[in-house]
Structure 1
């Protein structure tokens, strides 16, 4: 089990992953480790500037004002990635995806929730193998969910608006390392601009004939949390079968 771990009394500052194991899905689980992702390792495809002083070029002068064009450019270039280079990358909202070849990937919101990262795991799924990529730098995505159909990877994410729902985002790629292309909101119908009041948590592959009948013949189901911030333990769930329009996934609430 991979999970988002925060340290007591530190709010969301720790931004660590955690790993625990069990002989059954029902537990008991044994805590193995927690940490930041891939400390001291460059991401795949990172274009180093023509200088040996990369840290100085990315971090200084340090930009205190957020959301300016200059600040966004530095985020895209890797300002927060460089800040966390030695200690490891932040890991908050996350999912685990196992590809057709059995390789597993940890997909998580990083760099102050501004950039997604996709990191490959070791063959035993217990730790990172050092290969990772940055996706949608500066785009402020969280709650990543992912599936693969006919050789294409599809990822549905959420914006960062706290407990309040927002419009879903969607990305596609032919390779899990990208490049990833952003597409319009996949939701259709009433409530589409707020993802029907929910936020994605996982995309489930429908396996049996009985399940396919239950989900109107869909091959995948978008699973989402309907947060109740005043009583979080009473938050509900929304499952939406994934259908297709012109070769693109869409979500239509039944």
Structure 2
């Protein structure tokens, strides 16, 4: 009887181990992208790269994101909204050849745990990191939203590195063009010029700021866009000479309706087109918020909209939603809900 019990327990353990291994590696050898579920890296660990962006360099995609701590708490010193947050853990980096299987490269912008006055101290806010490559300086340049714990500082931080997954050197923070800077993204145009998009004026207005040739500072050439419309979470891409921007409203961690706009020039004027989402929960952006748009290398009209599905009371357990963008004949876009889709079949 004891031998039978031991055999049964061993068999059960073996079956459970196999099931767990399959779950951790369910995307291996598959081209499916599943949204809203837990994503694991190639080591079987949860991907921790929130508010992220993608850099494609020499055949590899690099995903940079907020490396969130495992304890979420509410900051009562911010009474105007539900300021749930975690300790800032720096900026993580994952690499992939296929946009499906992601290898953890490490925390490439590390927190400064010793200096309470440092922008990078865990008590502060580090959000929405984006990285672009400068062909002239041969530097990888990171911009991110850097803030105090109560979101009063409202600055942009800059860091550089010689390698896409190396240790980035933090250069400091600023209020670009002498105004607030919170939710942000970067965009590098076909001519090599780079631009910083950021929510400003207490998030009421979105600024588009041209960067210097080394991508380290604003040139002073900027425009104010969507004035008093309270847009945040910008994600920008270009197709057939036209510029597109996705954004969300300002409702804290809670979802709202997305919006997109199109322009012939990156600095504007922008024409608002409305909600790009369709299908289940489209009026809530699938209970998520935009963060980046990925142009799929080597594919025509292949763009993936990246969203964060925030879990405000357990932020490290927030999920990712990636969906393909489809284009109508007039250039308008549609992002339809799909719980799972095949990357190769969608972008032939």
Normalised by the size of structure 2, how large is the TM-score?
0.55
* Alignment deviations for residues 177-219 of structure 1 (CA, whole Å, 9 cap, x no partner): 11111111000111100111110110111104xxx5xxxx751
Q: Say what the alpha-carbon RMSD is for the aligned residues.
A: 1.2
* Alignment deviations for residues 22-72 of structure 1 (CA, whole Å, 9 cap, x no partner): 22232312110201011xxxxxxxxxxxxxxxxxxxxxxxxxxxxxxxxxx
1:244 aligns with 2:327: yes
- Which residue number in structure 2 is paired with residue 35 of structure 1? 174
Which residues of 2 match residues 38-187 of structure 1 at below 5 A?
38=177, 88-187=178-277
- Which residue number in structure 2 is paired with residue 2 of structure 1? 143
Go from structure 1 to structure 2 and tell me whether the alpha carbon gap of 1:218 and 1:177 turns closer, same or farther (over 3 Å shift): closer
Supply the distance in 1 between the matched residues of 2:168 and 2:315 (Cα, whole angstroms).
23
- Which residue number in structure 2 is paired with residue 231 of structure 1? 314
* Alignment deviations for residues 84-120 of structure 1 (CA, whole Å, 9 cap, x no partner): xxxx111000000011111000000011000000000
The structure with the greater share of residues assigned to strand is: 2
SS in 2 for 1:195: helix
Residue of structure 2 aligned with 1:16, choices 147, 151, 155: 155
Supply the distance in 1 between the matched residues of 2:156 and 2:231 (Cα, whole angstroms).
17
Structure 2 unaligned segments of length 5 or more: list them.
1-141, 339-348
- Which residue number in structure 2 is paired with residue 81 of structure 1? none
Supply the distance in 2 between the matched residues of 1:177 and 1:96 (Cα, whole angstroms).
13
- Which residue number in structure 2 is paired with residue 71 of structure 1? none
Please say which structure displays the higher CA radius of gyration: 2
Supply the distance in 2 between the matched residues of 1:140 and 1:3 (Cα, whole angstroms).
19
Supply the distance in 1 between the matched residues of 2:152 and 2:164 (Cα, whole angstroms).
29
Normalised by the size of structure 1, how large is the TM-score?
0.75
SS in 2 for 1:194: helix
Q: Is the 8 A contact 1:158 1:167 kept in 2?
A: yes
Supply the distance in 1 between the matched residues of 2:287 and 2:196 (Cα, whole angstroms).
26
- Which residue number in structure 2 is paired with residue 66 of structure 1? none
Higher relative contact order (CA 8 A, sep 6+): 2
1:190 aligns with 2:280: yes
Supply the distance in 2 between the matched residues of 1:196 and 1:219 (Cα, whole angstroms).
21
SS in 2 for 1:233: helix
Residue of structure 1 aligned with 2:294, choices 189, 194, 204: 204
Q: Is the 8 A contact 2:327 2:333 kept in 1?
A: yes
Supply the distance in 1 between the matched residues of 2:320 and 2:234 (Cα, whole angstroms).
16
Supply the distance in 1 between the matched residues of 2:307 and 2:163 (Cα, whole angstroms).
24
- Which residue number in structure 2 is paired with residue 72 of structure 1? none
SS in 1 for 2:284: helix
